[in-house]
A = this chain, B = another copy of it.
Amino acid sequence: TKEIIRKELARWFVSLAIGVCTGLIACLIDYLIELTSSIKYGYVRNYVEKCVEDFCLYAPFLMWVAFNAFIVMFGAILVAYGEPMAAGSGIPQIKCYLNGIKIPHVVRIKTLICKVLGVVCAVAGGLAVGKEGPMIHSGAVVAAGVSQGRSTSFGIDFKIFEYFRTDTEKRDFVSGGAAAGVAAAFGAPVGGVLFSLEEGASFWNQALTWRIFFASMTSTFTLNVVQSYIKGNPWELSNPGLINFGEFEDSKYAGFEIPIFMVMGVIGGLLGALFNQINYMLTCYRLRYVKQRWNQVIEAMIVASLTATAGFVTIYFNNDCQPMKDKTQTNLVQFFCDDGQYSTTANIFFQTPESSVKDLFHNQPGSYEVKTLGFYTLVYFLLATWTYGLSVPSGLFIPCILIGAAWGRLTGIFFNYAFPEADWADPGKYALMGAAAMLGGVVRMTISLTVIIVEATGNISYGLPVMIILMIAKWVGDFFNEGIYDMHVHIQGVPILGWEPPVMSSNISAIEVMSHPVTVFRTKETVGRIVSILKADEHHGFPVVSNFDPHDGTISRETFGTFEGIIIREQLIILLKLKVFEENPDYQLILKNIKASDFRDTYPRFPPIQQINLTSQERDMTVDLTVFMNPAPFTISDRASLPRIFRLFRALGLRHVTVIDDKHQVIGMVTRKDLARYKIWRHHGQISMEEIQISHG
């Protein structure tokens, strides 16, 4: 009883720690970005102001390019040479991890370090990236680290939380960490919980969800306290999240605007599908031709230089001057404008993306010219498609929000122009709706994204329009291709399972799905055969059978002995390492001394089979697997249909299941890969099912 209560308390304590650490890391990232950006922009901005008069604009331009390329180079080197797993937003990887697929290095501390420093470089280097995806990934790594009470990379073991060293417990904490990351990034604790559920959970559990919520609340709170302290109003706790979309004063909408929003949803879906398609082609190209590390670094530097160039060109040719409202705004860039005016274009490019988002949402009507916004949308769209997939940590939320806000604001300006009397046509509101549409079209998330947007605006009255827009954008986008995260998951050939069994699969039976010749072990198996099979075979679980003769060489064999249980690769390796062989003189003693912790201590990095040294004498000994196997795993009948097998896997998070016939004979194994082969194609309104090839790697 006490053990259970202690474990329960430890779970809450770990959730608290996850929340606090994630909040602190978010603060750190934010602080570093603010610091480097303000240095860079301050320098470039002053230089520009000077050179506008002296006709030496090439100098600040080159300086800007050099700045960006240099900072981004640092980030790209960190990722390419340090830890390639730190590239991108990390959301696809977290998705796979929560789906039950082990991807190496995803939750290592080294990944965390590269991710944090890398994202600072990427954002400060002016790339079209955000810091939100990386922040979510960081939260997940923190959770994995804290919950295990040790770091295998550093060889530190605090000897605490040893009972959490299992896949299930770790995965639960990682989902808490991801939620805490969302909470810190957007100030959206509820959105974070829903994100974890939408992307990861297969089975809703009240206690678990409550702990996840606790972690994300703590993370928002920590961030809040630290930020309010930095800003000099300690305990003024009304400043959640790193991207606050700012408050919408007059948050009303009229019923007749809903059709407009729906059209915006369609546009968002179309643009999103285009975005994903271009990005897909680029990624495939990159996988084929940009393999070497230094190539990746150079590509990142090229994009960084191009981003700076694009910015400069836009500013140069779009001399969109607006009167300064307030002399105190020292950050505004005058550029070619008259005194007392500032260049809005320069302003968009000479500040962090977060500030641009706020400006697009909240600046007065008339702050931007039409051509500025149009040009900006186009340039940023192309840059963002190119950037996502570079060898730097890069979030997608901010670029999508910027693109969407730009064309959304354009829509608002259009309505202002068409109906000059209308007070409902607030460009800021339309910028928000455009941002939602673009996000929905690209990432295709549903309820969690709605709640994130609602929480980030701090306003629930926009809930319904945002939801309608996201729904339509997702429908339109799904007509053409998948969401960008799913796309990247599939490019990597990861056997992820969807939400529903493939349609039209109910006439496919286990016999067709299963992998056929099965590698099985006998209840009493020789050490030699175990070693050679583990070396030759990559599977994770093996059925243990009786009435089976491995040396009976008929290849067309239908069954593989009577099913007795299942044994896991890691268990076998530990048994070999501890030499739990029946012929050992001290066999009884070894058996008595074996503890659960023997299996737990090596988690999660089991020694590979190659590291186990055995004498040839030992290879002739036998292991009694019945003592260690799982004697009652889930099995399925050979007549079970694909949807039924799918549900079993999905609901229980299984990795493999044995197929037995009605004589209790093993006739096959079904793994995630076998199921993931059957994929639904639902493009252009057509639904069909296809077997696809999953890379066996």
B-contact bits for A221-242, CB 8 A (1 contact / 0 none): 1000100000000011110100
Q: Decide yes or no: A464 and B203 within 8 Å by CB, A213-B446, A447-B193 being known contacts.
A: no
Q: How far is the CA of A500 from the CA of B208 in the complex (A)?
A: 10
The reply to whether A499 and B205 contact each other, CB–CB distance below 8 Å, is yes
Select from chain B the residue with minimum beta-carbon distance to A206: B499
Q: How many of these chains are in the complex?
A: 2
Residues of B within 8 A of A209 (CB): 197-198, 446-447
Q: Is the C-beta of A308 less than 8 angstroms from some C-beta in chain B?
A: no
Q: Is the C-beta of A685 less than 8 angstroms from some C-beta in chain B?
A: yes
Q: Is the C-beta of A204 less than 8 angstroms from some C-beta in chain B?
A: yes
Q: Decide yes or no: A662 and B563 within 8 Å by CB, A640-B632, A651-B203 being known contacts.
A: yes
Select from chain B the residue with minimum beta-carbon distance to A228: B255
Which candidate, A137-145, A408-416, A454-462, A584-592, is the interface stretch facing chain B? A454-462
Interface residue ranges of A681-697 to B (CB < 8 Å): 685-688
Residue of A254, A471, A637 with most chain B CB atoms under a 10 A cut-off: A637
Q: Which of B189, B447, B504 contacts A210 (CB 8 A)?
A: B447
Min distance, Cβ A163 to any Cβ of chain B, angstroms: 14
Known: A190-B451, A217-B467, A634-B634; 16 extra A-B contacts, CB below 8 A, are: A1-B688, A4-B687, A198-B204, A201-B204, A203-B651, A210-B446, A210-B447, A213-B446, A217-B468, A235-B256, A236-B252, A237-B254, A563-B662, A632-B637, A634-B636, A651-B652
Interface residue ranges of A40-59 to B (CB < 8 Å): none
Q: Is the C-beta of A562 less than 8 angstroms from some C-beta in chain B?
A: yes
Report, as a range, how many residues of chain A touch the other chain.
35 or more
Min distance, Cβ A466 to any Cβ of chain B, angstroms: 10
Q: How far is the CA of A214 from the CA of B468 in the complex (A)?
A: 8
Interface residue ranges of A252-289 to B (CB < 8 Å): 252-256
> Residues on A close to B: CB < 8 A?
1, 4-5, 189-190, 193, 197-198, 201-207, 209-210, 213-214, 217, 220-221, 225, 235-238, 240, 251-256, 446-447, 450-451, 454-455, 458, 460-461, 463-464, 467-468, 471, 499-500, 503-504, 509-510, 562-564, 631-641, 644, 647-648, 650-652, 662-664, 685-688
Residues of B within 8 A of A461 (CB): 237-238, 240
Residues of B within 8 A of A206 (CB): 198, 446, 499
Min distance, Cβ A476 to any Cβ of chain B, angstroms: 15
Select from chain B the residue with minimum beta-carbon distance to A466: B217
Residues of B within 8 A of A255 (CB): 225, 235, 237
The reply to whether A238 and B251 contact each other, CB–CB distance below 8 Å, is yes
Select from chain B the residue with minimum beta-carbon distance to A665: B664
Q: Which of B238, B467, B631, B650 contacts A213 (CB 8 A)?
A: B467
Min distance, Cβ A5 to any Cβ of chain B, angstroms: 7
Q: Decide yes or no: A564 and B500 within 8 Å by CB, A1-B688, A446-B209, A631-B637 being known contacts.
A: no
Select from chain B the residue with minimum beta-carbon distance to A193: B447
Residues of B within 8 A of A637 (CB): 631-633, 635
